[in-house]
Amino acid sequence: MAINPRYAADLAKVAPLYERVKTVIPDIEWPVHAPYVAAINDLKKQRNAVILAHNYQTPEIFHCVADITGDSLALARRAGETDADVIVLAGVHFMAETAKLLNPDKTVLIPDQRAGCSLAESITAADVRELRRQHPGVPVVTYVNTSAEVKAESDICCTSGNAVKVVESLGTEQVIFIPDEYLASYVREQTDVEIIPWQGHCEVHERFTAQELRDFRGSHEGLSIVAHPECPPDVLGEADFVGSTAQMQDYVTSNRPAKVLLVTECSMSDNIAADIHDVEFIRPCNLCPHMKRITLANIQESLETLKPAVEIDPVVADKARAAVERMLAIGR
């Protein structure tokens, strides 16, 4: 059977990109991805667009079409620095909102509006106002995994990469820390500031158990366990290192453990393994259904139609932007 010449040209054009991911994407799958990769990389030029991809995106997105990759903090920082006219956020909705807050005049696209987050769903602006009423004068530190409306009720934002630094930057004896109860408890262990938490959880990280990690350590000699601080405290107690997704990646890259278990979303291991071949990844990972709503197909459609675009009420946006910018002024 003759191969369509356009398809053959696409395959040839993106062949060098396959070299980056060939250890994590089977060659039988690549012909499905290749036409999308070729089309998206052309569309980015036509639209003067950049794709920001979170560390939990699949390798064909992360390594083959993204311009900027990283944790929530890096994506927020880099979103504020781009000259592009269009930003596509390959991640979840709160990340796209943060990019829009920092680029009110640019088009910010989220390829599937349903890409939410259980933490962002766990708290509303009215809940924050009620917390303030219960704790008058206590500042509110808000994890970026929240809606713009919740950020607008906050004094400052934080990410998993800078939470302790942000809490201590306020110079108060107490802070209200929302919405992740487990990140709050991780921060509490590292500071004298009294932390008033909320009961939000990440549906991906709360599923890991300390017993499963002990079992993996028992069956893999010399295993390093690296965990995200959204995990429950007893799970973090089993870890050799705890950090944001970028800090987890840095830990593996610099320490080169012979075997590592990343206690987080599944694509993290694939994305690091594509670059690092001397580390064995043990994978009891959990999938984030929201992150997985983003695909090459809907990135392409989003760049073609310039939809769905993120819009934020200007009054909410001004207040939420102040909380994000206050965080960015502090640094990691």
159 binds, among ligand 13P, ligand SF4, none (CB under 5 to 8 A by kind): ligand 13P
> Which residues, 68 to 97, sit near ligand 13P by CB under 6 A?
71-73
> Which residues, 222 to 251, sit near ligand SF4 by CB under 6 A?
230
Give the chain as a 3 state SS string.
CCCCHHHHHHHHHHHHHHHHHCCCCCCCCHHHHHHHHHHHHHHHHHHCEEEEEECCCCHHHHCCCCCEEECHHHHHHHHCCCCCCEEEEECCHHHHHHHHHHCCCCEEECCCCCCCCHHHHCCCHHHHHHHHHHCCCCCEEEECCCCHHHHHCCCEEECCCCHHHHHHHCCCCEEEEECEHHHHHHHHCCCCCEEEECCECCCCHHHCCHHHHHHHHHHCCCEEEEECCCCCHHHHCCCCEECCHHHHHHHHHHHCCCEEEEECEHHHHHHHHCCCCCCEEECCCECCCCHHHCCHHHHHHHHHHCCCECCCCHHHHHHHHHHHHHHHHHCC
Stretch that binds ligand SF4, among 5-13, 24-32, 45-53, 288-296 (CB under 6 A): 288-296
User: In terms of CB distance, is 91 or 257 closer to ligand 13P?
Assistant: 91
Among residues 57, 245, 271, 298, the one that binds ligand 13P under rule CB under 6 A: 245
Stretch that binds ligand 13P, among 13-21, 65-73, 128-136, 186-194 (CB under 6 A): 65-73
b or e along 56-86 (b: 16 or more beta carbons within 10 Å of the residue's beta carbon)?
A: bbbbbbbbbbbbbbbbbbbbbbbbeebebeb
Q: From the CB of 127, what's the least distance to ligand 13P, in Å?
A: 20
160 binds, among ligand SF4, ligand 13P, none (CB under 5 to 8 A by kind): ligand 13P
Does the footprint of ligand SF4 cover residue 204 (CB under 6 A)?
yes
Among residues 79, 108, 195, 202, the one that binds ligand 13P under rule CB under 6 A: 202
118 binds, among ligand 13P, ligand SF4, none (CB under 5 to 8 A by kind): ligand SF4
Among residues 65, 88, 150, 202, the one that binds ligand SF4 under rule CB under 6 A: 202
Does the footprint of ligand SF4 cover residue 285 (CB under 6 A)?
no
Stretch that binds ligand SF4, among 33-41, 114-122, 166-174, 236-244 (CB under 6 A): 114-122
203 binds, among ligand SF4, ligand 13P, none (CB under 5 to 8 A by kind): ligand SF4
Among residues 67, 85, 168, 203, the one that binds ligand SF4 under rule CB under 6 A: 203
Q: From the CB of 143, what's the least distance to ligand 13P, in Å?
A: 9
Name the site residues for ligand SF4 (rule: CB under 6 A): 92, 117-119, 145, 202-204, 230, 265, 288, 290-291
